[in-house]
Amino acid sequence: MTEAETAALSEELAGLELHRLTLLPAGPAPAGTRSAEVWDTAALLITLRTAPTLVRSLVGLLQDWLRRRNSGSIEMKLGTHELRLTSTGRAEQREAIQGFFTAIEQDRDAAPTTEPSDHG
């Protein structure tokens, strides 16, 4: 992803109510590449507040962005769950996204609830 593409994506992400958006430094070009100049990559660290609808909105925005670029991939991690979005393979992508959300919802449902205590 080029610097301009990263800036454009960051601008689109600003429309969501994110907690924080941080650009992480790119690493060196992978072994075997001929020129570091053609290796443009970026990593964005997106911190969300705990809102399932916000996660769904984020996934939708990223899918749309990848489709418009018609290339690339984005890897997401939420807790122990990972999702890789690509610009191709729509049926497989839908299944992967549904599995990602199902796993997140199962974790949320399995989490113990805390009840307020009255120490007065």
Tell me the pLDDT tens digit for each residue of 56-87. Answer: 889 999 988 888 888 888 888 888 889 999 87
For the chain, give the longest Cα–Cα distance. 70
Mean pLDDT of the 93-104 span: 90
Nearest residue to 21 (alpha-carbon basis) of 31, 36, 9: 9
Per-position b or e across 61-77, b if 16+ CB within 10 A of its CB:
ebbebbeeeeeeebebe
pLDDT at 51 over 60: yes
pLDDT at 35 over 60: no
pLDDT band at 99 (very low <50, low <70, confident <90, very high): very high
Comparison of pLDDT for 108 and 58, the residue scoring more: 58
> What pLDDT was estimated at residue 113?
56
| 37: phi then psi, degrees, rounded to nearest 5 | -65, -30
The model's pTM is 0.69
* Average pLDDT, rounded, for the chain: 77
